Structures are given as structure tokens and as C-alpha cells.
């Protein structure tokens, strides 16, 4: 199309370029058939199915769900938000790992430096901390929501148990992260918290010794909990999350209406 | 042949007629225990069985020989004979080896055949199961499982759009909150100076609150351990299959009690505990709590 000047307008050029990209081999190899980003996408029942079936999201969602399940008031998105917060915490956590050394006193100084020396350092640290507290809350609320809907009943009994494991792992992740700033708040909150565990009969002392790497919290504990926080516990929780999501699909999707 | 649908009989007759090279109507009549159609009567002459003549229904009828001649199994012939006898109001001929059902069959002779059938039943000894028919049923007839239609919507775009908006809202809220509220960072960790009060992270403050009332073994170990185990076994304890709140009053009450109790303890431990972990009003002595 030419405009009044007999020249090809900018709008047309852009649209032509976009068409060229969207029909290229690279583009169509990335976006599988049914993708809304693919050239020639039309909104049809068939394509709506393909969007999910040809997408990695097929691991999480079926092609169709019961109508009541999409109502916001049914799930309040709590499970999905917990998962999303986990991803957010992973991203911000990786960012923080670039600037953090789990030794004393470097740990504390590095946290201080986040506020002064690192671009967006304080913001990312805030996101990480508030996101973590929010995740504890959403996981707990998700559990309550599932209980009040009776969604733990057969065939979903085992997935409820997996969910309880995820709740415990979430608390442990939060608790191990609590020590890392290595300030007075971290040190003494963790001291109080882990002293409670030390009262466990028979194994209490051994568990406590293994967890904090000694009879009391020392800089060695910092390294130990750092590894637990950034590597071990995320590894375990991802496995349980995979089972959890898989069982949601296999146990019949989201639970029925009340 | 009481209880057999006509089309099954016909299918069976067609198959046999094809196999034996006979007329379908003839076989069908034989199966039903009726006389073959009139035009075929002469053709059936050599064999005495299907002939409507009186001697055929006589007591001396040799079913084994008939069976051998026609290929029709003896029980079928016998049942055909009984049926015909009932219709005609005659006593069922006695046969070698077959228990006499004659006395029973004579009385309800005027009744329809269907009513007469149970009358002949006592001929089968108690506790013996008899098989009526073995037939081939096409798969389509027995595999018509219709899933009941459900009200469903496509995940794309309905659910994904909602999820996307939810993620955006939470992310935006979190970023805005993080811009204005900084994560706490107190002084450098000092092993020689314990702050007063020292509090655990907020999600453990309910337990720390319990420490004020119970022995550490109870508050720090037994209650949380049994709490988690108790949560995990809920599905195996609660056998009530209903998900309607009105059917689950006890379960909801018990669960809500524990949720409420832990919320109260957590809030109490967070905001109403001052120096020495003693009771204090947050609006009088200030808040001794850090996130």
C-alpha cells in the first residue's frame, strides 16, 4: 500500500517486517501450531486446544477445566501464586547470590552493600524477603482453602500429604534464609527457633548439632544454612512440587463444585 | 423359548440356516418350537420331529435320534416340545431322563404362555443355575459408555488470562510494597548481646508463645510434630465422602478451631509480648516485632 506521496508508509513497512518474521522458519519452529504468536492464528476451538496441548503449560493445565474452577472465588489462585512466588524467589535469590558471601562478617557487609553499592540491590532484597513471607502465607491459605473445599478427599488424599510436605519445606526454606543477613535479628531468631527443635527426645541434640554444625550457632552455621537454603531445600521442594502438580492432573484436576 | 428377543433368535436362525444350507424360516420355527411354515411341510416329511402330527407329541418321541437327524440340540427340542404342549393345552410328554413337568403345565393351560413359564420352573432342582442362551453380542452393543457432559471451558484463554492478571497484580503489589518498605537489617550479629525480647520468625511465634505455658518438650517438639502428622493424616481419618459444608460441620469446626488458635497465638506472641517475653500492650510499650 502506498500513501499519498507514493511511498511505502512506516506502518506498512513495520507490518510487512512483522509478517516476514512471523512466517520465518525460526519463528514457526519456536511457536508450535496453535500458538497465538504464530502466523495465521485464528481463535477457534481447535486452536484453543492446541495452545495448551502444544505448550509446556500442558504439564500444569488440561485443555479444558470445569467452569466453576476458573472462578476466582473458588481457588483465589493461592496454589498458583505460591508456585509463582517460588519462581520469583528463585529469580531474586539468584540475583542476591551474586553479591553475597556466607562468611562472617562478610555476609552482613554484603547485605549492607546491597543497599548502597548494588543497582536495585535493596529493591531485590526487599522483594525476596517480602515475597518469602507472602509465600508462607499463601501456602498456608492454600492449605486452608483445600481443606474447606474438602478437596483432600479421595482420590486426592496423597496429594494432600505431599502438600503438607511442601508446607514444611516452605517453612524450612524461610527459616534457613532468615539467618543469612547475619544481623542481630537473624542470629537470635534462629537461636530461639532452633533451640525449640533441640528439645526433641532422643535425637534432639544430634539433629540440632547436624543442623547448626555445632552446639551453638557459629559462622559455620551460616555456610551450612546457606547451602541448605540455596541448593538442598530448593532441590527437594522442586521434586515435591513436580509430584504435587502431576497428581493434581492425575487425580482428576481441580476438585468439583461444592 | 421364553425371554429371548425375536431379533436374536432370528440372527441365530440365519446363521444356522446358512451353515446347514436350510431355509431360514424353517430353522427359526424350529428354534421357537413351532411347526415349520406350511410350504415346507412336505420337505420336512422324512423327519418326524417338526411335524404337527399328534404322534410327534406322543410319549415315545426319541429326541436323541431327532437331534442327530436335524442337528438341533436335544434341550432345544425338548423345550420346543414343552412349549407346544403348553400352547395346545396338552400335557407335556414325559421323556426318558427328564423330570415330569406335566402336572404343573396342565393347570394354567388357559393362561398366556408367559404366565405358564414359571409354572414349569419347578422342573429345575433348587440351587441349580441354568443357562439360557449363549450368543455373540457385537462390541458396539455393550461398549456404549457415554460420558456425562460436563460444563467445561477452555483453559486458553479463560483460565490463563485470569492467572496472568493474578501474577501481574501480585508482582506489582510486591514491587510497590518493596519500594516503600525496606527489609529489616539490625546491627551486626553479636553472640554476647541477646536482644530482649528475642523472638523467632513470625510463623514460629505461636510455638514460642506455647513455650510460656508448657514444657519445652511439649511446646517445641510434641505439639508441632503431632500437629504436622495430624494435618497429614486428615484424609485418612475423615471418611466422610461429602464435600458439602453442611455435611462436614464437625470437620470444619475442628480445623477452624486449630487455625483460629494458631492465629491467635501467633498474633499474641508477635504483638503482645514485650521485654522478657512478658505481656505488653503494643500501643503502650511499643511493638517488639520484626519481620
The reply to whether ipTM tops 0.85 is yes
Using CB atoms, which residue from A52, A128, A175 is nearest to B155?
A52
From B139's Cα to the closest Cα of chain A, the distance in A is 28
At A4 the three-state DSSP class reads coil
Instruction: State the pLDDT at residue B36.
Output: 57
Question: Would B104 be classed as within a structural domain?
Answer: yes
Size of interface A-B (CB pairs under 8 A): 211
Question: Would B205 be classed as within a structural domain?
Answer: yes
Query: pLDDT tens digits for A42-56?
Result: 999 999 999 999 989
Got the DSSP string for B19-52? HHT--HHHHHHHHHT-PPPGGGTTTTTTSSSS--
- A1 against B21, higher pLDDT: B21
From A16's Cα to the closest Cα of chain B, the distance in A is 27
* pLDDT of A245 over the 60 cut: yes
In order of B154, B160, B165, B169, the CA distances from A72 in angstroms are: 15, 12, 11, 13
CB contact under 8 A, B255 and A147: yes
Question: Would B290 be classed as within a structural domain?
Answer: no
CB contact under 8 A, A126 and B200: no
CATH number of A69-250: 1.20.810.10
Query: pLDDT tens digits for A61-84?
Result: 999 998 888 888 888 999 999 999
Query: pLDDT tens digits for A170-186?
Result: 999 999 999 999 999 99
Question: Would B244 be classed as within a structural domain?
Answer: yes
CA angle A55-A56-A58, nearest 5°? 75
Chain B residues near residue A35 by CB distance under 8 angstroms: none
Q: Which residue, B118, B139, B160, sits at the end of a domain?
A: B139
Instruction: State the pLDDT at residue A118.
Output: 95
Query: pLDDT tens digits for B199-227?
Result: 999 999 999 999 889 988 888 888 999 99
Q: What percent of chain B has pLDDT over 70?
A: 73
From A145's Cα to the closest Cα of chain B, the distance in A is 11
**Structural domain boundaries, residue B50:** 6-139
Number of domains in chain B: 2
CB contact under 8 A, A84 and B167: yes
Chain A residues near residue B153 by CB distance under 8 angstroms: 64-67, 70
Boundaries of every domain in chain A: 10-59, 69-250
Instruction: Note whether B117 and B200 are same-domain residues.
Output: no
Instruction: Note whether B129 and B18 are same-domain residues.
Output: yes
Using CB atoms, which residue from A68, A157, A174 is nearest to B235?
A157
pLDDT-derived band of residue A252, with 50, 70 and 90 as boundaries? confident
CB contact under 8 A, B202 and A185: no
Query: pLDDT tens digits for B78-127?
Result: 888 888 888 887 776 555 444 444 444 444 444 444 444 445 555 777 77
Question: Would B153 be classed as within a structural domain?
Answer: no
Q: Which 8-state DSSP code applies to residue B272?
A: S
Instruction: Note whether B116 and B49 are same-domain residues.
Output: yes
Using CB atoms, which residue from A48, A187, A193 is nearest to B154?
A48
User: Quick one: average pLDDT of A126-135?
Assistant: 97
Instruction: Note whether B17 and B126 are same-domain residues.
Output: yes
Is the C-alpha dihedral spanning B110, B111, B112, B114 positive or negative? negative
Instruction: Note whether B135 and B202 are same-domain residues.
Output: no
From B286's Cα to the closest Cα of chain A, the distance in A is 17
Using CB atoms, which residue from A131, A188, A201 is nearest to B198?
A188
Closest residue in B to A162 (Cα–Cα): B232
User: Quick one: average pLDDT of B152-157?
Assistant: 89
* pLDDT of A197 over the 90 cut: no
Instruction: Note whether B12 and B93 are same-domain residues.
Output: yes
| B209 vs B267: CA distance, rounded Å | 10
Instruction: State the pLDDT at residue A122.
Output: 96
| B75 vs B62: CA distance, rounded Å | 12
Question: Would B54 be classed as within a structural domain?
Answer: yes
CB contact under 8 A, B183 and A187: no
Question: Would B1 be classed as within a structural domain?
Answer: no
Q: Which residue, B110, B139, B168, sits at the end of a domain?
A: B139
Question: Would B167 be classed as within a structural domain?
Answer: no
Instruction: State the pLDDT at residue B186.
Output: 93
In order of A238, B66, B75, B83, the CA distances from B80 in angstroms are: 73, 13, 8, 5
Amino acid at each position: 500500500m502506498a500513501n499519498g506521496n507514493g511511498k511505502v508508509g512506516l506502518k506498512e513497512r513495520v507490518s510487512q517486517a512483522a509478517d516476514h518474521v512471523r512466517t520465518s522458519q525460526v519463528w514457526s519452529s519456536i511457536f508450535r501450531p496453535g500458538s497465538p504468536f504464530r502466523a495465521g492464528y485464528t481463535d477457534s476451538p481447535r486452536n484453543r486446544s492446541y495452545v495448551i496441548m502444544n505448550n509446556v503449560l500442558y504439564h500444569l493445565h488440561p485443555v479444558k477445566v470445569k467452569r466453576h474452577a476458573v472462578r476466582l472465588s473458588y481457588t483465589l489462585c493461592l496454589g498458583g501464586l505460591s508456585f509463582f512466588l517460588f519462581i520469583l524467589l528463585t529469580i531474586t535469590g539468584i540475583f542476591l547470590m551474586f553479591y553475597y558471601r556466607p562468611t562472617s562478617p562478610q555476609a552482613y557487609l554484603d547485605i549492607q552493600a546491597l543497599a548502597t553499592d548494588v543497582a536495585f540491590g535493596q529493591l531485590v532484597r526487599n522483594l525476596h524477603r517480602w515475597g518469602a513471607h507472602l509465600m508462607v502465607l499463601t501456602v498456608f491459605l492454600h492449605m486452608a482453602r483445600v481443606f474447606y473445599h474438602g478437596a483432600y478427599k479421595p482420590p486426592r488424599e496423597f496429594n494432600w500429604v505431599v502438600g503438607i510436605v511442601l508446607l514444611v519445606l516452605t517453612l524450612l526454606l524461610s527459616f534457613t534464609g532468615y539467618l543469612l543477613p547475619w544481623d542481630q535479628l537473624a542470629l537470635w531468631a534462629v537461636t530461639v527457633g532452633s533451640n525449640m527443635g533441640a528439645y526433641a527426645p532422643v535425637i534432639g541434640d544430634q539433629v540440632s548439632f547436624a543442623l547448626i554444625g555445632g552446639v551453638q550457632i557459629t559462622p559455620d552455621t551460616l555456610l551450612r544454612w546457606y547451602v541448605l537454603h540455596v541448593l538442598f531445600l530448593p532441590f527437594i521442594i522442586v521434586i515435591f512440587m513436580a509430584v504435587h502438580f502431576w497428581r493434581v492432573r492425575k487425580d482428576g484436576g481441580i476438585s468439583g463444585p461444592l | 423359548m421364553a425371554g429371548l428377543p425375536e431379533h436374536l433368535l432370528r440372527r441365530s436362525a440365519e446363521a444356522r440356516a446358512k451353515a446347514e444350507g436350510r431355509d431360514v424360516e424353517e430353522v427359526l420355527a424350529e428354534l421357537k418350537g413351532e411347526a415349520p411354515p406350511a410350504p415346507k411341510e412336505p420337505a420336512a416329511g422324512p423327519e418326524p420331529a417338526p411335524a404337527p402330527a399328534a404322534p410327534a407329541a406322543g410319549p415315545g418321541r426319541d429326541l436323541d435320534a431327532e437331534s442327530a437327524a436335524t442337528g438341533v440340540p436335544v434341550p432345544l427340542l425338548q423345550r420346543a416340545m414343552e412349549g407346544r404342549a403348553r400352547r395346545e393345552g396338552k400335557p407335556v410328554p414325559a421323556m426318558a431322563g427328564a423330570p415330569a413337568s406335566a402336572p404343573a403345565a396342565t393347570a394354567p393351560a388357559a393362561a398366556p404362555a408367559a404366565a405358564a413359564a414359571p409354572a414349569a420352573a419347578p422342573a429345575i432342582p433348587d440351587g441349580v443355575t441354568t443357562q439360557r442362551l449363549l450368543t455373540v453380542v457385537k462390541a458396539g452393543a455393550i461398549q456404549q459408555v457415554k460420558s456425562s457432559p460436563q460444563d467445561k471451558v477452555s483453559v486458553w484463554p479463560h483460565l490463563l488470562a485470569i492467572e496472568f492478571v493474578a501474577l501481574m497484580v501480585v508482582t506489582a503489589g510486591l514491587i510497590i510494597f518493596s519500594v516503600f518498605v525496606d527489609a529489616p537489617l539490625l546491627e551486626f550479629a553479636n553472640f554476647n548481646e541477646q536482644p530482649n525480647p528475642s523472638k523467632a520468625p513470625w510463623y514460629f511465634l505461636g510455638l514460642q508463645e506455647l513455650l510460656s505455658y508448657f514444657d519445652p518438650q511439649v511446646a517445641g517438639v510434641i505439639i508441632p510434630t503431632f500437629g504436622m502428622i495430624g494435618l497429614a493424616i486428615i484424609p485418612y481419618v475423615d471418611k466422610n465422602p461429602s464435600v458439602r459444608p453442611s455435611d462436614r460441620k464437625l470437620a470444619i469446626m475442628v480445623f477452624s478451631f486449630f487455625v483460629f488458635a494458631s492465629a491467635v497465638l501467633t498474633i499474641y506472641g508477635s504483638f503482645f509480648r514485650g521485654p522478657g517475653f512478658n505481656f505488653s500492650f503494643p500501643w503502650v510499650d511499643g511493638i517488639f516485632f520484626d519481620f
